[in-house]
A and B are shown apart, each in its own frame.
Chain A
Amino acid sequence: LRKNVEDFTGPRERSDLGFVTFDITADILNGKKCMVFFLTCIHLQSIFDWNVKQLFLYLSAEYSTKNNALNQVVLWDKIMLRGDNPRLSLKDMKSKYFFFDDGNGLKGNRNITLTLSWNVIPNAGILPLVTGSGHVSVPFPDTYETTKSY
Chain B
Amino acid sequence: LLLFFSGSMEPAFHRGDLLFLTNRIEDPIRVGEIVVFRIEGREIPIVHRVLKIHEKQNGDIKFLTKGDNNAVDDRGLYKQGQHWLEKKDVVGRARGFVPYIGIVTILMNDYPKFKYAVLFLLGLFVLVHRE
A interface residue numbers (CB < 8 A to B): 9-11, 53-54, 56, 58, 60, 67-74, 77, 79, 81, 97, 102, 117, 119, 121, 123-127, 129
Contact = CB atoms under 8 A, between A and B. Distances in A.
B98 A60 contact: no
Nearest to B51: A74
Contact of B31 (A60, A79, A127): A60
A124 B97 contact: yes
B52 A73 contact: yes
A103 to B, nearest CB: 8
A68 B46 CA distance: 26
22 contacts: A11-B83, A56-B32, A58-B31, A60-B31, A67-B56, A68-B54, A69-B57, A70-B55, A72-B31, A72-B53, A73-B31, A73-B52, A74-B32, A74-B52, A79-B11, A97-B52, A119-B12, A124-B99, A125-B97, A126-B95, A126-B96, A129-B30
Interface of B: 11-13, 30-34, 49, 51-57, 62, 68, 73, 75, 83-84, 94-99
Given A68-B56, A79-B68, A126-B96, A119 B11 contact: no
Contacts, number: 76
Given A60-B32, A70-B54, 8 more contacts: A10-B84, A58-B31, A67-B54, A68-B55, A68-B56, A79-B12, A97-B73, A117-B32
Nearest to A117: B32
A119 B32 contact: yes
A79 B69 CA distance: 10
B30 A72 contact: yes
A102 B54 contact: yes
Given A60-B32, A119-B34, A125 B96 contact: yes
Contacts of A56: 12, 32, 49, 68
